[in-house]
Structure 1
């Protein structure tokens, strides 16, 4: 195919033709490296695009820009039909960049009231487009026609517009974009175009009514890379390689041809996840994709033959060895299956980017095994799971240590001055025998003979210069402690000149892998019994108050700061999962009239936790959330 080569930019708006300034290579436009466009007071199309006097519209800037320069477009709406024909050079490309304003929005090329009819790159080389939003009339396109070395990054195409790369274009990349509500295929690469890369995009068409069309179509376009996209094409084909499109790579995509979560019924034969035509199979690679089978149609079509499972597809074609045919959306929860998208991509696939479509770097989800290549932590599809924290399992509260009882020690005896207690924790009270990296406990000192502090540290390590709780002689003091586990044990050092009794209640444990992750969140007040709503009455003596937390999704546990206010008698507070028997454990201890606070990690049962006032008089409670544990 021939490539169209011209030397000037032509620009027109829907409101009329814009007069373009005549600018030579040595003219005023070459004076600065950035040309500014902003529809604001003081803008002018007769100037040179300075920051203080920017162009009002985009077309004059495009007519003036030189290789190596950048056109920065401020936030606002620009109802312009644009055709780009001016080229940069390989060493000095032209960049057209949208600038996000204080309101968090960038420039919009058209809007719903005045959609543009075209956004065309014709016969131009070495262009970069970044952070733009195109609202086009139905069935209009972002057209790349006979162009070379053109990239689009974080460009949204909305309201029926699509992307079309054609007429022998070469080395075009469309990355981290969004295409929605398309009327024709969201992405079409054809016309002998070569080396096109479509990577890390979200392609979504709602509904499945008449006129449903494929998501990504590559026809007669060899060596195309379709990698790490999330494609939803209801009751149609999600990704199609057709005609002379040999040498393609289709990897790390998440495709769903179902009607949302539903099957497509009579249209299921057309609802195919990945289609590779007979003339496109040579040298093409399909692997590491997630293909959603809920459409009821074939997961694959290879050279005209349908396949409903990954196993059958791989056995017949040698392709898709690491593909997964499974639902593309997985609800989180204690009984949910592992999400096949997470930490399972081929990091070494061509076209992979350092960040996802939202600009987020890959995150290792400790609740999922790493099965991908390279670091093993890349997710399939356009987005990385961001709902990730450290692997933590709430447990208990269960008493692990009480030197008065004895529990956790050979005999009942106070810890001597400057003495150490080594406590086994691995394999006890639900803590795994192996793989545990740390435990979280509520630690209490009682009956101390002298002022001092307690240091809790990994067993066998040199004792650090740190304290976990401090006390004065004769006072009971608790605190929540998270400590690494070494050799299955942790150590407690009594840094005081007198004896002290120690109590430790398990609140949870950390592991390198697990189903539950911790998420810092807050602080937010959840309860104050002194005021409405949710309060105005104290917790009675020996009474229990239950707090409903059902608004938090996939909840396994909660990290709270709990304060006992103005207790009428000496006692302690126990926080535990609703419905359980009140355990032999304490989260904070108090004296009459003494306001005491402590942090608490507690498992959640049926979205609720309970607070038991183990004292002979009422007390008020204040509860603040600082984080939660979720499946």
Structure 2
């Protein structure tokens, strides 16, 4: 079955070929030349053929190339002119012409033939030649992996005029003539296709020709015809396929091997396969006599003792069951170790080695190989305590599985296990989550890899353990992913010597999850709070373990993402007024909820401009996260028949919505989306003591209806030039008509939203967070009448901002209705903020006002700024969204000139550094 040594069987018949059997491209020598005719190659035949400026033609390189150098030809390029090579290399220093890429499929194309004339020590690889190839008067020539089409008279390749030692290997040939006293020609591992009514290969007066391991396909005449003085020639290990063709007109008999009487004495033939219809005719024509069988042929000539006739030509080739497998002569003249595709000679362990001296080279151009495409690896048990025997089992996708060798790496640093067996066992001495690897290696050295895993646990009892961390969104705008108040429960800390078969998690809010294995799990709470999370496990041996701990679900510190304002809801367009006491859900644009406004699924808090209009009675509106209890706070107040607007910052509910509820009566509700806060993205905030940016009473005059005004906001008044958004308190005074004001970034893209509703005779204010537009500006617009506008900056967002925002479910901090009014010129201090807060977002409401005035919020202990946070109106309850610095967990609120006020302060969130 097996030879004693592969080397001993192959070495005796190997031909010494220039560059064979190497298949990889050699590193380019600095003195090598380059040819590239492709567009954009910057080629020039007048240059020196460098890689940056190659020759345009192979002929230009052929005229100057020196011994030992290579002409590298760009793959898949074409050269229409005839090519003649007449320069010579030296022994050990051939001149080589090779396509730059070494993969078989990328050839370069010659359009009008190749001639090698009077040259020696030349190697040519991977050219496709139309018009034929001629070798004349040349020696030590190697033609490898070529495609040669037939030229004139059906001659594809001609070797003649006394040429010596020409080797043609691993090529596609159409019509071969070896004549004119050529000596020592080798045809090896080629696919040879003849021309109608002409033999595939004609050898005439060519001593020492070796035709070895080729596959011939012909139809009308002899596949191989030898005549004349051809002493020392051999025909070995070939496959001759002779088809039937109705177009045959030649008088030459159809046969496999034809040797004329004048050549018969000098030709040796053996180990060939002849197949096709010719089997039923005359597979041999030797010295004028036809022989129908190898036995008859051998008896008469002494040749062909190991030849095979194969009536079923479809069974012949590199496939299971073929008579060509492991049946050739590895010592035949002209044998090369690699086949047509560059694959090495391989021993099929399923087939007896019937070749000479037990050899296993295949007959024909192709070598049957193991189709080793992969290997799977199973590891059992996949989970066990230290000291347990683990068994790895390999299953290779191989037709020659019996010949494979396996190397097992158990992943714990112990020595590899090399074996012919498909299994290997191992005992781990230390715990690990180990990757087990197997390498399957076939008889020709091809390797494939498979992987498995095993968890080696400490010995001991099952001990449940877990960690719970906030599950935060990642990336700039994740359309899918965790929402706010999400946690991730990681059970990696569990000590489980055997596989966990049951895992139950009680999240402490009435929700549970079950799994059949130990796994990581996620959960989203509806409300922030402290929850008792319980983990219960059971393993494959029936052991149980339970552990519980308190988990804090909180809105996470977030950066701000400014968006172009757009309208989310307007009940005036749907004729569905809001009814007091009935909460309505408002869908936020998280994920793909709002077509045309696909934003992040991970937003933690939304910034909105909310307007109530057409109220049937004095009332107020509250907004809070969906799925949570309604807080005892409010966001805006409106008088009967009036219109009121306010900016609202509100956390996002677990279902991606918020709730809005009118306290009493009916009204229309308008909600505009301004931006949002989210962990791990967005810009940080830097609070400012209120700083005046614009006052049209002193600069520029009132803003007229239908007009715009551009205001510089970045790069002035302590706001850096690269700020991405600014927080402003926007105040109107002296309005001539009822109308609204819009603040927006791009003067060319005014949104269909509003920021402030103005009324004649009333000073009104609202806070706005506006993205910075071109050249650090924003644009103001009022729709009708005219009004004076005052802009006070209270902070900015940017890459060098100082603080992140932590959303808070609306919470009341202070209410002077329980402590007494805030007198004119007096200050009240609001506490209850985190000690590390540097800023806060508040909803401040002035009520029971006797005289118009304004309130100013600023950091505790700081200097009173000369700007307002809220304008009070006699007899009217006025709210405003206020962003203010914080110091020591406190905020001051100052009442300006005017009457006393009650002041109600609700917390919406706070800013912290870190």
The 2-side partners of 1:108 and 1:214 are apart by 26
The 2-side partners of 1:232 and 1:465 are apart by 46
Aligned-pair distance for 1:283?
A: 3.1
Is this contact kept in 2: 1:99–1:131, CA < 8 A? Answer: no
- 2:192 pairs with one of 183, 189, 203: 203
Q: Does 1:132 align with 2:132?
A: no
Task: Report the CA distance shift for 1:455/1:91 in structure 2 as closer, same or farther (over 3 A).
Answer: closer
- 1:166 pairs with one of 133, 137, 160: 160
Is this contact kept in 2: 1:223–1:247, CA < 8 A? Answer: yes
Determine helix, strand or coil for the equivalent of 2:365: coil
Q: Which position in structure 1 is the counterpart of 2:37?
A: 39
The 2-side partners of 1:352 and 1:271 are apart by 27
Q: Which position in structure 1 is the counterpart of 2:56?
A: 56
Is this contact kept in 2: 1:252–1:345, CA < 8 A? Answer: yes
Task: Report the CA distance shift for 1:344/1:380 in structure 2 as closer, same or farther (over 3 A).
Answer: same
Aligned-pair distance for 1:377?
A: 2.4
The 2-side partners of 1:361 and 1:465 are apart by 26
Task: Report the CA distance shift for 1:456/1:69 in structure 2 as closer, same or farther (over 3 A).
Answer: closer
Is this contact kept in 1: 2:104–2:126, CA < 8 A? Answer: no
Is this contact kept in 2: 1:457–1:484, CA < 8 A? Answer: no
Is this contact kept in 1: 2:379–2:392, CA < 8 A? Answer: no
Task: Report the CA distance shift for 1:144/1:495 in structure 2 as closer, same or farther (over 3 A).
Answer: closer
Task: Report the CA distance shift for 1:331/1:348 in structure 2 as closer, same or farther (over 3 A).
Answer: closer
Aligned-pair distance for 1:294?
A: 2.5
Q: Which position in structure 2 is the counterpart of 1:157?
A: 148
The 2-side partners of 1:466 and 1:43 are apart by 52
Aligned-pair distance for 1:71?
A: 1.5
- 1:325 pairs with one of 302, 305, 309: 309
Task: Report the CA distance shift for 1:51/1:212 in structure 2 as closer, same or farther (over 3 A).
Answer: same
Task: Report the CA distance shift for 1:442/1:234 in structure 2 as closer, same or farther (over 3 A).
Answer: farther
Task: Report the CA distance shift for 1:48/1:384 in structure 2 as closer, same or farther (over 3 A).
Answer: same
Q: Which position in structure 2 is the counterpart of 1:145?
A: 136
Is this contact kept in 2: 1:328–1:341, CA < 8 A? Answer: no
Q: Which position in structure 2 is the counterpart of 1:84?
A: 85
- 1:251 pairs with one of 209, 218, 236: 236
- 1:191 pairs with one of 157, 171, 180: 180
Q: 1:39-438 maps to which residues of 2 (within 5 A)?
A: 39-40=37-38, 41-75=41-75, 76-100=77-101, 105-110=106-111, 116=112, 118-136=113-131, 141-158=132-149, 162-179=156-173, 182=174, 186-205=175-194, 211-259=196-244, 270-295=253-278, 296-326=280-310, 327-330=312-315, 338-373=321-356, 376-389=359-372
Determine helix, strand or coil for the equivalent of 1:171: strand
Determine helix, strand or coil for the equivalent of 1:314: helix
The 2-side partners of 1:369 and 1:143 are apart by 42
The 2-side partners of 1:88 and 1:265 are apart by 44
The 2-side partners of 1:315 and 1:595 are apart by 76
The 1-side partners of 2:517 and 2:253 are apart by 68
Aligned-pair distance for 1:93?
A: 2.3
The CA deviation string for residues 61-80 of structure 1, in whole angstroms up to 9 with x for no partner, is 11112222221111211112
Determine helix, strand or coil for the equivalent of 1:203: strand
Is this contact kept in 2: 1:170–1:193, CA < 8 A? Answer: yes
Which has the larger share of strand? 2
Task: Report the CA distance shift for 1:268/1:389 in structure 2 as closer, same or farther (over 3 A).
Answer: farther
Determine helix, strand or coil for the equivalent of 1:301: strand
Aligned-pair distance for 1:254?
A: 0.6
Is this contact kept in 2: 1:456–1:467, CA < 8 A? Answer: no
Structure with more relative contact order (C-alpha pairs < 8 Å, separation 6 or more): 1
Task: Report the CA distance shift for 1:272/1:521 in structure 2 as closer, same or farther (over 3 A).
Answer: farther
Aligned-pair distance for 1:455?
A: 4.8
Task: Report the CA distance shift for 1:332/1:456 in structure 2 as closer, same or farther (over 3 A).
Answer: farther
Q: 1:17-28 maps to which residues of 2 (within 5 A)?
A: none
The 2-side partners of 1:389 and 1:55 are apart by 43
Aligned-pair distance for 1:360?
A: 0.9
Task: Report the CA distance shift for 1:299/1:264 in structure 2 as closer, same or farther (over 3 A).
Answer: farther
Aligned-pair distance for 1:89?
A: 2.5
The 1-side partners of 2:408 and 2:58 are apart by 62
Aligned-pair distance for 1:135?
A: 2.3
The 1-side partners of 2:169 and 2:335 are apart by 10
Is this contact kept in 2: 1:456–1:483, CA < 8 A? Answer: no
The 1-side partners of 2:161 and 2:426 are apart by 76
Q: Which position in structure 2 is the counterpart of 1:612?
A: none
The 2-side partners of 1:46 and 1:154 are apart by 30
Is this contact kept in 1: 2:316–2:324, CA < 8 A? Answer: no
The CA deviation string for residues 512-538 of structure 1, in whole angstroms up to 9 with x for no partner, is 99xxxx998999xxxxxxxxxxxxxxx
Task: Report the CA distance shift for 1:102/1:42 in structure 2 as closer, same or farther (over 3 A).
Answer: farther
Is this contact kept in 2: 1:227–1:253, CA < 8 A? Answer: yes
Task: Report the CA distance shift for 1:244/1:252 in structure 2 as closer, same or farther (over 3 A).
Answer: same
Task: Report the CA distance shift for 1:272/1:53 in structure 2 as closer, same or farther (over 3 A).
Answer: same
The 2-side partners of 1:175 and 1:100 are apart by 18
Task: Report the CA distance shift for 1:42/1:492 in structure 2 as closer, same or farther (over 3 A).
Answer: closer
Q: Scaled by the length of structure 1, what TM-score is found?
A: 0.54
The 1-side partners of 2:32 and 2:320 are apart by 51
The 1-side partners of 2:61 and 2:316 are apart by 48
Whichever of the two has the greater Rg, that structure is 2
Q: Scaled by the length of structure 2, what TM-score is found?
A: 0.38
The 2-side partners of 1:265 and 1:73 are apart by 40
Aligned-pair distance for 1:373?
A: 3.4
Aligned-pair distance for 1:380?
A: 0.8
Unaligned runs of 5+ in 1: 1-30, 111-115, 393-439, 459-463, 469-481, 497-511, 524-589, 597-631
Unaligned runs of 5+ in 2: 1-28, 394-406, 412-417, 430-441, 452-500, 503-513, 519-914
The 2-side partners of 1:212 and 1:286 are apart by 24
Task: Report the CA distance shift for 1:309/1:389 in structure 2 as closer, same or farther (over 3 A).
Answer: farther
Task: Report the CA distance shift for 1:494/1:124 in structure 2 as closer, same or farther (over 3 A).
Answer: closer
The 2-side partners of 1:268 and 1:368 are apart by 41
Is this contact kept in 1: 2:197–2:250, CA < 8 A? Answer: no
Task: Report the CA distance shift for 1:33/1:355 in structure 2 as closer, same or farther (over 3 A).
Answer: same
Task: Report the CA distance shift for 1:219/1:522 in structure 2 as closer, same or farther (over 3 A).
Answer: farther
The 1-side partners of 2:408 and 2:145 are apart by 49
Is this contact kept in 1: 2:140–2:165, CA < 8 A? Answer: yes
The 2-side partners of 1:250 and 1:315 are apart by 18
CA RMSD, 1 decimal: 4.6
Task: Report the CA distance shift for 1:271/1:48 in structure 2 as closer, same or farther (over 3 A).
Answer: same
Q: Which position in structure 2 is the counterpart of 1:461?
A: none
The 2-side partners of 1:465 and 1:148 are apart by 51
Determine helix, strand or coil for the equivalent of 2:299: helix
